[in-house]
Amino acid sequence: MPFLLARHNPRACLCSVLRKQNEQTRIQKVESKKCPCPPKIQNNMPLVPELRCSTIPLYNGLQIPILGLGTSHDGGYSHDAIVYALTECGVRHIDTAKRYGCEGDLGKAIKESGLDRSQLWLTNKLWPGDYGYRAAREACLDSCTQMGVEYFDLYLMHWPEAINQGGSNREVRAETWRALEELYKEGVCRSIGVSNFLINHLEQLKEDCSVMPHVNQVEYHPYQQPTTLMEYCAEKGIVFEGYSPLAKGQILSDPAVHQIALKYRRTPAQICIRWSIQNGVVTIPKSTKKKRVQENFQVFDFQLEETDMVALRSMHDGRRVSWDPTNVK
């Protein structure tokens, strides 16, 4: 299904703002030029039909869609938004986690969409409270049951620290990973990976286990660019995946991003998401609003110039908007 163009938002239109201010001189100057806002279009007008979400190969040969829709807890799930994303926006990559508490609801949304399971890429995550060999196996199989599926395309250890488990973090991670390796070999998980792991955690896993993670999902946006970790993952054949590409909304008001958005007649969110996928990062934005879901996936019909890519890279200041695994042994 093709992606759809974002609807024109009169509130965001520079011309409309100036008209409301009734500043006739400024209106004339603006109207004499091309309006920098997206053109007004009919509802549901399709984007170029051949546009599709590109993919990135995992080292086992699977292709993961480079853009996915994330879910979350604390109000971070919307049934209607998921169904809309799947049926109207062409979304085929959904990211969730047991901790989010929406596995059952997500399964219902997928069923309601009418899409065949083979058309989707589903990522789920194992919470540290279920770490350990036996607990990890049981949790994964239970998550499959909750979602009404027989397998996950990608299954991640959610966090490098063990919670209420005997043994060191390293020992528990290794024991848990061995369970994921078996689930991978059995086909319950078509690929396995980790989330929020740093180089030291990955090095330990490499020494203790036989299957390297296919994916490492961490926080990634212009303010937080873990370049060394990205280089390590690339060297080891681990696909780098980024969550919170909009820095939980913090970056949307940044003047530098707004300037670039104006240049391309796009929204700040689209600029940040495009920057991320153009860096080769599997990107997971999330929203419970239909309009924003649609907007977030309309990023495959333009490219940022290198000068703008560099400008966004220069915004790195190390800030995090989510968990910090730095002190996890």
pLDDT higher than threshold 80 for residue 138 = yes
Share of the chain above pLDDT 90, in %: 79
Give the mean pLDDT of the chain. Answer: 86
Task: Give the separation between CA 153 and CA 71, rounded to whole angstroms.
Answer: 16
> What pLDDT shows up at residue 323?
87
Cβ–Cβ contacts within 10 Å for residue 206, how many?
Answer: 13
Percent above pLDDT 70 for the chain: 83
Phi, psi of 261 (to 5 degrees): -60, -40
What separation in angstroms does the CA of 56 have from each of 125, 181, 283? 20, 22, 11
Q: What is the pLDDT of residues 77-131, one digit of tens each?
A: 889 999 999 999 999 999 999 999 899 999 999 999 999 999 999 999 999 999 9
pLDDT at 33 over 70: no
Task: With cut-offs at 50, 70 and 90, classify the pLDDT of residue 248.
Answer: very high
Determine the pLDDT at residue 20.
Answer: 38
- The secondary structure element, H or E, covering residue 268 is helix 268-278
CATH number attached to the domain at 52-313: 3.20.20.100
pLDDT at 210: 95
Given the residues 77, 100, 131, 223, the one annotated as active site:
100
Residue 25 has pLDDT above 80, yes or no: no
Q: 210-214: long-range contacts at Cβ-Cβ below 8 A with a sequence spacing of 24 or more?
A: 210/181, 211/177, 211/181, 211/184, 212/59, 212/236, 212/237, 212/238, 213/238, 214/58, 214/59, 214/60, 214/62, 214/154, 214/238, 214/239
Using the predicted structure, report yes or no on whether residue 230 has a pLDDT greater than 80.
Answer: yes
Is 158 annotated in a binding site? The answer is yes
Q: Residues spanned by CATH 3.20.20.100 within the chain?
A: 52-313
Our answer to whether residue 100 is catalytic in this structure is: yes
Which of the residue ranges 12-26, 173-187, 200-214, 253-267 would you say has the lowest mean pLDDT?
Answer: 12-26
pTM of the model: 0.84
The pLDDT-based confidence of 13 (bands split at 50, 70, 90) is very low
Neighbours of 168 (CB within 10 A): 12
Residues in the chain: 329
The whole-number average pLDDT for the span 7-36 is: 36
pLDDT of 1: 35
* Residue 189: closest CA among 103, 60, 65: 60
What would the pLDDT profile of 39-67 be if each residue is shown by its tens digit?
332 233 333 233 368 999 999 999 999 99
**What is the per-residue pLDDT across 181-225, written as a single tens digit (0 to 9) for each?**
999 999 999 999 999 999 999 999 999 999 999 999 999 999 999
Distance of CA 215 to the CA centre of its chain: 13
More confident residue, 234 or 29: 234
